[in-house]
Amino acid sequence: MNILLLGSGGREHAIAYKLTQSAHCEHLYIAPGNAGTAAHGTNVALDINNFSAIGEFAINNNIAMMVVGPEAPLVGGITDFFRNSPTLRNIMVLGPDREGAQLEGSKAYAKQFMQQYGIPTARYRSFTADTLEQGYAFLDTLTPPYVLKADGLAAGKGVLIINDLDEAKSELRNMLVDAKFGNASSKVVIEEYLTGIEMSAFAITDGKSYKMLPEAKDYKRIFDGDKGPNTGGMGSVSPVCFADQTFKDKVEQRIVQPTIRGLQERGIDYHGFIFFGLMAVPDHETGQYDPYVIEYNVRMGDPETESVFPRLLSDVAELLRAACTGELDKQQLLIDPHTAACVMMVAGGYPDHYDKGDIIYGIENVSNSLIFHAGTKRDGQGHYVTNGGRVICVTSLAPSLPEALLESYQSAAHIQWRGKFQRRDIGQDLLRLMVQ
Ligand code: AMP
Ligand code: GLY
């Protein structure tokens, strides 16, 4: 079958890499893709939010399955657009419809969903400009730090964690009354702060059954020690050492299964990935961790995909097709027991101002790691050049986390451009936990 993959990040390069290992993938198109995805198929200059142009391309190129990488087209209703069109409805779409995508598109929707189906999450309430005073009163009942979340998509910036009560109140006002995050903050979720270790769990579902993909941990802030501003993600590792079988069973029983039941009860025919952003909260009496949901995403994570997908030994095109057609229960998912470690290299200045167009050297000198491009393109002379904040990541698979990290850092050292930056401490927190 011909497959169309939407997106242009490291996540899409890793998905493209696995899809094209499948005998079921005849031709892969990536829209818009990057310089790395071009090695796996044909990049197509389409706007991922222009549904009619995507539909026209899909028909003209005999696309059998479309895989949606990022959330924006899903929240915008691309799946409904295909299902409701007489000419597009036979094309399989991996990714939920607009209502299913509300799990990511609206924090208030997600929180209400979790509350209704008894899924462990931080205690919360949501407020609008009309209920600002009640919002202040709710903040008075909480202890710091205070967690304020813009309801809608805010490019990963819509969550504020504030220690001071007066500042929290004034930020609540900024969000609700002064539209700090535009429309996205016309509603705000205020919730209890959870203390623990963050990690990511992933399921793929056909709406009836599901398969768990390997879990991962990502590193969100720009500087070592998890300092500085939030980024799209500076690296990832999979598996996560403290997520033992007991913990994973809790995740499935307390979170994944009730989520699928909730989707069914609401009549949401969900075909796609569910990404559970979790806080593993230690129970000081038992020494075990309990999982709480911090957020849902309706897609794979980036850069988690770059360490999760290389560990999938099964045919990924076949797996995704089965999720589209409702035959996931017939699939067997084989996982590589090796540890994957991914180090993201970013442009100097990211996540604030950074340059584009710098020539990237040394990619050809990497032999022991996988290279996934994020913000890259080719210039007129055929050089790879930077074209985004997150530029390239390297992923290594090895029998242990220290070995995988060593390989990735050695590979990363071969790749250079003006201003290149990377964290030096990916995975170090887990290594410290392992020796405890
Ligand atoms: P989100 O966009 O919902 O993933 O939130 C961004 C980040 O804020 C998360 O990755 C967490 O680090 C942090 N965060 C969100 N909610 C909470 C919470 N209830 N308790 C502690 N940290 C949180
Ligand atoms: N790595 C976090 C995300 O993809 O949202």
**Please, what are the domains in the chain?**
2-97 (3.40.50.20), 123-191 (3.30.1490.20)
- Does 198 contact ligand 1 (Cβ within 6 A)? yes
Which atom of ligand 2 lies at the shortest distance from residue 233's CA? 1
Is the pLDDT at 399 greater than 80? The verdict is yes
Whether the Cβ atoms of residue 152 and residue 188 lie closer than 8 Å to each other: no
Is the pLDDT at 226 greater than 80? The verdict is yes
CA distance 61 to 76: 23
The alpha carbon of 143 and the centre of ligand 1 are apart by a number of angstroms equal to: 16
User: Which of 161, 199, 219, 298 for mutating ligand 1's site (highest number of atoms within 8 Å of CB)?
Assistant: 161
Residue 112: CB atoms within 10 Å: 15
Whether the Cβ atoms of residue 207 and residue 271 lie closer than 8 Å to each other: yes
Whether the Cβ atoms of residue 79 and residue 105 lie closer than 8 Å to each other: no
Q: What's CA 304's distance to the chain center, in Å?
A: 7
Q: Which two tokens stand for residue 133?
A: 């005073």
User: Which of 275, 305, 426 for mutating ligand 2's site (highest number of atoms within 8 Å of CB)?
Assistant: 275
- Does 194 contact ligand 1 (Cβ within 6 A)? yes
pLDDT given at position 153: 82
CA distance 10 to 17: 10
- Average the pLDDT over 391-408 and give the result: 98
Q: Which two tokens stand for residue 19?
A: 């899809």
- Average the pLDDT over 261-287 and give the result: 95
- Does 151 contact ligand 1 (Cβ within 6 A)? no
- Name the closest ligand to CA 154: 1
Query: Exposed/middle/buried for 330, CB within 10 Å: 0-12, 13-18, 19+?
Result: exposed
- Average the pLDDT over 259-275 and give the result: 97
Whether the Cβ atoms of residue 108 and residue 126 lie closer than 8 Å to each other: yes
Whether the Cβ atoms of residue 408 and residue 377 lie closer than 8 Å to each other: no
More confident residue, 423 or 229: 423
The alpha carbon of 168 and the centre of ligand 2 are apart by a number of angstroms equal to: 25
Q: Which two tokens stand for residue 159?
A: 């969550």
CB under 8 Å to 123, separation ≥6 — which residues?
191, 192
How many residues does this entry show for the chain?
A: 436
Residues whose beta carbon lies within 6 Å of some atom of ligand 2: 218, 233, 297, 301-302, 304
pLDDT given at position 155: 75
Q: Which two tokens stand for residue 364?
A: 């050809």
- Does 394 contact ligand 1 (Cβ within 6 A)? no
- Name the closest ligand to CA 161: 1
The alpha carbon of 273 and the centre of ligand 2 are apart by a number of angstroms equal to: 13
Residue nearest to atom 3 of ligand 2 (CA): 301
Enumerate the β-bridge partners of residue 396.
341
Torsion of CA 35, 41, 46, 49, to 10 degrees: -100
- Does 282 contact ligand 1 (Cβ within 6 A)? no
Place of tokens 């995975």: 427
Return the ∠ at Cα 298 (arms to 292 and 302), rounded to 5°.
85
pLDDT given at position 306: 98
CA distance 436 to 422: 27
The alpha carbon of 294 and the centre of ligand 1 are apart by a number of angstroms equal to: 6
Residue nearest to atom 5 of ligand 2 (CA): 301
Q: How distant, in Å, are the alpha carbons of 128, 157, 163, 182, 186 from that of 178?
A: 12, 16, 21, 8, 9
- Average the pLDDT over 198-214 and give the result: 97
- Average the pLDDT over 39-63 and give the result: 98
Q: What is the mean pLDDT of the chain?
A: 95
pLDDT given at position 435: 78
Q: Which two tokens stand for residue 142?
A: 């909480």
How does pLDDT run across 151-197, given as a tens digit for each residue? 888 776 788 999 999 999 998 998 888 878 878 878 898 999 999 99
Whether the Cβ atoms of residue 42 and residue 27 lie closer than 8 Å to each other: yes
Q: Where are the beta strands (DSSP E) in 239-288?
A: 272-282
CA distance 270 to 204: 10
Question: What letter does residue 358 receive in the DSSP assignment?
Answer: P
pLDDT given at position 375: 97
pLDDT given at position 186: 82
- Name the closest ligand to CA 299: 2
CA distance 158 to 102: 16
